[in-house]
Amino acid sequence: MNTVRRSPGQELITLLRKPGFWLILALFLLITIPHYSEALGHPTFLNKIIASLGLTRHAFERILYLAPIVWAGFMFGLKGAGITSLVTLALMLPRAIFLSNDRVDAIFETSAVFIIGNVLAVTFESLRRARERRTQLESTQQELRASEQRYRGLFESAHDAIWLQDMDGNIVAANAAAYKLTGYDINNLSQLNVRDFLSPEGLEVAREVRRKLLQGETIGESYDQRIIRKDGTEALVRLSSSLIRSSGTPTGFQHIARDVTEEKRLQENLRYYLQQATRAQEEERKRISRELHDDTIQSLVVLSRQLDALAANSKGLPEDTRHRLEELWQQTNNIMQGVRRLSQDLRPAALDRLGLLPALEWLASDVAQYSGIETRVKVVGTERRLPEEVELVLFRIIQEALRNVWRHSQATRAEVVLEFGEKKLKITVVDNGKGFDRPKTMGDLARYGKLGLAGMQERAQLVDATLAVDSQPGKGSTVTIEVPT
């Protein structure tokens, strides 16, 4: 913290405003007058009183000089006591050296007053600081007790399970929610070790978390852990763990757990439903694509050939009728091409026969042909096949991403980059279009009307992939998909 330095004039004004300063001056005046009254000859009544009391050596006044020194120490600390003792010495020495009949004794007494005054000031200052420290310590202890009571109240009333364990894993404290979560009562749980309700897989997770915490790493996010209840059933909990230290030495761990068993079960059921719905949708697409290819397109081929033959053998027909037959033949071919393209779009044959990369190359060629956007596919690393379901989901995500580029971005170039790593596949779809304002979180996509992106996010979750969208107005868009392989 920065402190404001005051000028000597300001310090002097502050000093003059303190009543204690004027009290010290008054004490000096009241003591110094009788100390020099004999030499000055005034006041005469004071000389008579001093003579009648036998105080002609003036040792009593020297003792009284201790009062302003001690008072200055109380008021202004050691610095004030030191300055006051020097002033006192300056007031006593002329009497001791020039006026006293017992010069040696007077100088000795003057020196003793100076020394004793400073010793008393230091002693009182030490006592004052000790009293302040004791008061501060008592206040701190009261705050600690109050804080402990508040923590105990929060600890006991928390809805999440909380337990403390020592470095060996023994439970030393737990709240009511922990008893409810594990099924053990207060007496049994306090006698357990965490190994008693962790599965072998859970122990491995716990050891890894312990290692990170002891190495000073922070566990930024909560993690999932499986525990075994007293009745033998398994519960999935979301844990937050932290290291407990005492005087810098690790003494244990604190865990805060929330039971997410039911939540995970609902998520798995929803995921299973989405998988089945997606699978049924793809099967229906596949069936329609096959029917279009095997039935509709073949019928159009036959019709096209008949019209072509009819137009070729139309020597006896009027010219306008022959032209009309040629137009019908051309329209039939156009319809056939459109149906063939629709069949490929529903379920590319290359995806089932050759895999993801050939299907993406066909998709890029198709987008370039019909949209005029320069689209290419780039591969980094060693290409390898993925499970059929994963390849299908990734193809649909990229298909939707390129469809968005085609419809909304006003781009001239787009690129699909596949990076094959040892443990994951990273796919990036980049365009140089106009971009858009991206919602802050992926969960807000549907709320902001980005239904295509929301559908891509849902598909990615079906195969444990992560999807990220980066876009700014005027700077194009980037869609990134990462899937473990």
Give pLDDT tens digits for 167-197: 888 888 888 888 888 888 777 777 788 888 8
Bigger pLDDT: 425 vs 99 = 425
Bigger pLDDT: 62 vs 317 = 62
Task: Single out the residue of 244, 74, 227, 121 nearest to residue 173, CA to CA.
Answer: 244
Locate 154 and state its tokens: 């929060």
Bridge partners for 258 per DSSP: 238
Are 367 and 399 in contact, with CB atoms under 8 Å apart?
Answer: no
Alpha carbon 91 to its chain centroid, in Å, reads: 67
How would residue 297 be classed by pLDDT, with cut points 50, 70 and 90? confident
Q: Which CATH class is domain 354-485?
A: alpha beta
User: What are the CA-CA distances from residue 338 to residues 11, 60, 297, 345, 381 (Å)?
Assistant: 95, 124, 10, 10, 36
Predicted confidence at residue 448, as pLDDT, reads 52
Are 169 and 182 in contact, with CB atoms under 8 Å apart?
Answer: no
Q: pLDDT at residue 210 above 60? A: yes
Mean pLDDT score of the chain: 80
Predicted confidence at residue 290, as pLDDT, reads 72
Are 239 and 223 in contact, with CB atoms under 8 Å apart?
Answer: yes
Give pLDDT tens digits for 77-92: 788 888 888 888 888 8
User: What are the CA-CA distances from residue 209 to residues 195, 202, 226, 245, 342 (Å)?
Assistant: 14, 11, 14, 16, 52
Locate 220 and state its tokens: 């930024």
Mean pLDDT throughout 400-408? Answer: 86
Above pLDDT 90, what percent of the chain? Answer: 5
Give pLDDT tens digits for 319-333: 777 778 788 888 888
φ, ψ (nearest 5 deg) of residue 332: -65, -40
Q: H or E segment at 390?
A: helix 388-404
Are 410 and 433 in contact, with CB atoms under 8 Å apart?
Answer: yes
The span from the CA of 211 to the CA of 206, in Å, is 9
Mean pLDDT throughout 89-97? Answer: 85
Q: Where are the domains of the chain?
A: 8-138, 158-259, 275-347, 354-485
Give pLDDT tens digits for 250-282: 888 888 888 887 777 776 776 676 667 767 766
Q: pLDDT at residue 442 above 60? A: no
The span from the CA of 251 to the CA of 162, in Å, is 17
SS3 168: coil
Predicted confidence at residue 55, as pLDDT, reads 47
Above pLDDT 70, what percent of the chain? Answer: 84
Q: Which CATH class is domain 158-259?
A: alpha beta
Looking at residue 165, its amino acid is Q
- Torsion, Cα 269 273 279 281, to 10 degrees, reads -170
